[in-house]
Structure 1
Amino acid sequence: MRVFVAGGTGVLGQRLVPQLVARGHEVTATTTGAGKLGVLAGLGAQGVVMDGLDAVSVGEAVAAARPDVIVHQMTGISRAHAGKPDLKHFDRWSVPTIRLRTEGTDHLLAAAEATGVPHFVAQGYANWNGIGTDGWVKTEEDPLDLHEGTAAHPAMEALRHVEEVVAAAGGAVLRYGAFYGPGATDDQVELVRKRQFPLIGAGTGYASWVHLDDAASATVLAVEQKARGVFNIVDDEPAPASAWLPLLASCAGAKPPMRVPVWLARLLAGEVVVTMMTEGRAFSNAKAKRELGWEPRYPSWRQGFAEGLN
């Protein structure tokens, strides 16, 4: 197939494009600047410069590529776009990604409709943001928690927008867990090594992880099978922070994380971080395994962390 990957030079895009090429697909992948066109060429894709927030730029790029499927992997979480991660002010830090998940998604869907692209796959998110009732592990039938009244709310609304409009278009949304792998955990590991990533309270909040290569392989399956609906793309072992953070520190060659009380963490890091670390709800991958036939190479973050975070 002719596959159009919007966001081809992101951490996931750079793992996805080679997998698509290896499967015999003709890939056009986008980047925001001409300086990265060589990266895309090295991955085997036809590179194109595109501004995901400019409807004309998106329309022209899609029309020129004439794809059979569009894969939306555009985010704005890199330091180049969002600056240093600032979870205390999550609403401000996540603005570039919010815009790409609202305006950018709408531009891509409009271009798909205008040019007759029959299938659409978009990036979602399923890490700690499951609804905070009835258990710690959520399926696709459970709604995402919109975290109303917190700094996470605008970002959660953007995720809901993606799921609603892509579903209406008959496409697939892949709710990826927390990424690890080449370039994905650099900021976290830096904080862990500086002992600036503490356990908060008892560390009871759950999270779901996925290696970049596993996220990419699930995406290839969704493309090839013309999947529809929502899929949680996470590994087999949802886990509380009290389990995964100490192992992350050990694998990074760092001292064990310090512990801080909830009240102090709320002052220093903000409500979103406290919620992640103490109340987060993780996700089940049963549907993706059952319907896509997906089997992660790294079924547990324990194995993946041990074999190398990068």
Structure 2
Amino acid sequence: MRVFIAGATGAVGSRLVPLLVAAGHDVVGTSRSAERLGDIEAAGARGVVMDGLDAASVRSAVLEARPDAIVHELSALGGVAPDLKHFDEQFAGTNALRTRGTDHLLAAAGEAGVGRFVAQSFTGWPNERTGGPVKTEEDPLDPSPTSASRQTLEAIRHVERATTEAGGLALRYGGLYGPGNVIGRGGELLAMVHDGKLPLVGGGTGVWSFCHIDDAASATAAALTRGGPGVYNIVDDDPAPVSEWLPELARIIGAKPPRHVPALVARPLIGEHGVSLMTKVRGSSNAKAKRELGWELRYPTWREGFRTGLG
């Protein structure tokens, strides 16, 4: 099929383009910058410049491409570790792409008669922070998010609602790691762990679900031909508390064990949202994605992925 990837030079898009080309698909990928089109074309796709926040730009790019499917991977993070005290402010660009950008793409998809629409979402901290440690797609998102994350959670709700109401699939990626990510060789978060600047806050009881970047790409490829409309958690098999994965990551990269910091001490530095990530968040189950998308993970656990897949 002809696949239109909005955001083809981003974290997932850059891994997805060669995967789809190798599978025989005709791929058109977008970038905000003409300078990045060479990366798309080097992977075997056709590159086009598109501004995801400009309705006319999106409409023109989609109608000219005449795709069978659209994959929405637009973001504006650029591989920077989150500023947890100013979370919404840092995610403002991505939130605009999750709201206005999604609406522009869906409008163009409807006009072009696109049959399949797959959009990027996120799981982990958006989960309700009560009850069991691992949530499914049937569990609600957090009804009482931290004050620093309310706008970002609302943008996630929007992209999921708009996508599924249009008959599409919203893929909730877990914490991504691997080449080109903050948890990857040269990434900012990995550097913080290496330098002892990422402490274990409180009891480290927050549960995280990870996903290697290549597994996120393979799940996205599977969603182009499998699965019905709805949301899917794209995470590995091994949700783990911070008290487990953070010391193990430090050990794997040869860093000293993270120091322990009480939550009350950490709060002025990383805010309510940062403390929540370390102590309250819930993980996610991938059972639905494995069952309905026929998805098989290259890295079923972050334990192996951290050892061999950081890049």
TM-score (norm 1): 0.96
CA–CA distance in 1 between the matches of 2:146 and 2:107?
Answer: 31
Q: Give the 3-state SS of the residue equivalent to 2:5 in structure 1.
A: strand
Counterpart CA distance in 2 for 1:65 and 1:227 is: 24
The match for 2:171 is 174
Q: Assess if the C-alpha contact under 8 Å between 1:129 and 1:282 holds in 2.
A: no
Q: Distance in 2 between matches of 1:6 and 1:242?
A: 37
Distance 1:214 1:84 in 2: 21
| Closer/same/farther in 2, CA of residues 146 and 102 from structure 1, 3 Å limit | farther
From 110, 113, 127, the counterpart of 1:113: 110
SS of structure 2 residue aligned to 1:195: coil
Secondary structure at 2:192 match in 1? helix
The residue number in structure 2 matching 1:34 is: 34
- 8 Å CA contact 1:146–1:156 kept in 2: the answer is no
- Is 1:300 equivalent to 2:301 in the alignment? yes
The CA distance in 1 between the partners of 2:88 and 2:236, in whole Å, is 28
- Equivalent position of 1:156 in the other structure: 153
- Output the CA distance in 2 between the equivalents of 1:149 and 1:204: 17
Q: Which is worse superposed, 282-291 or 139-148?
A: 139-148
- Rounded Cα–Cα distance in structure 2 between residues aligned with 1:146 and 1:265: 24
Whether contact under 8 Å (1:231, 1:287) holds in the other structure is: yes
SS in structure 2 at match of 1:151: helix
Q: CA deviation at 1:187?
A: 1.3
CA contact (8 A) 1:130 1:143 kept: yes
Bigger drift between 222-231 and 176-185 goes to 222-231
- List aligned pairs for 1:172-251, cutoff 5 A: 172-184=169-181, 185=183, 186-225=187-226, 227-251=228-252
**How far apart in 1 are the matches of 2:146 and 2:250?**
32
For these two proteins, the number of residue pairs brought into alignment is 307
Deviates more, 1:278-287 or 1:114-123: 114-123
Shifted more, 84-93 versus 275-284: the winner is: 84-93
Could you tell me which runs of 5 or more consecutive residues in structure 2 were left unpaired when the two chains were aligned: none
Unaligned runs of 5+ in 1: none
Question: Matched residues in 2 for 1:127 and 1:249: separation?
Answer: 21
CA distance in 2 between partners of 1:137 and 1:267 (Å): 28
2:54 aligns with 54
Q: Aligned-pair RMSD on alpha carbons?
A: 1.2
Give identity over the alignment, percent: 56
SS at match of 1:113: helix
User: What is the deviation of 1:253?
Assistant: 2.2
Q: What is the TM-score normalised by the length of structure 2?
A: 0.96
Q: Distance in 2 between matches of 1:252 and 1:72?
A: 33
**Separation in structure 2 between the aligned mates of residue 225 and residue 166 of structure 1, nearest angstrom:** 16
Does the aligned pair in 2 maintain the 1:128–1:208 contact within 8 Å?
A: no
Distance across 2 between alignment mates of 1:271 and 1:110:
37
Q: Give a deviation string over 1:252-278, Cα, whole Å, max 9, x none.
A: 221111111000111111111100110
Determine helix, strand or coil for the equivalent of 2:148: coil
CA distance in 1, matches of 2:269, 2:214: 34
Question: Matches of 1:9 and 1:28 in 2, distance apart?
Answer: 12
The answer to whether 1:143 aligns with 2:177 is no
The alpha-carbon deviation at position 251 of structure 1 amounts to 2.0
1:120-151, Cα deviation, whole Å (9 max, x unpaired): 10001012331112201000101121544510
Match of 2:270 in 1: 269
Partner-residue secondary structure (3-state), 2:224: helix
Change (3 A) 1:146 1:100: farther
- CA–CA distance in structure 1, aligned partners of residues 34 and 227 of structure 2: 31
- 1:226 offset after TM fit, Å? 5.9
Name the amino acid aligned to 1:68: D
Poorly superposed stretches of 4+, deviation over 6 Å: none
Asked if structure 1 preserves the Cα contact closer than 8 Å seen for 2:8 and 2:14, the reply is: yes
TM-fit CA distance, 1:176? 0.5
Partner SS, residue 106 of structure 1: helix
- Distance, in Å, in 2 between the alignment partners of 1:251 and 1:12 is 24
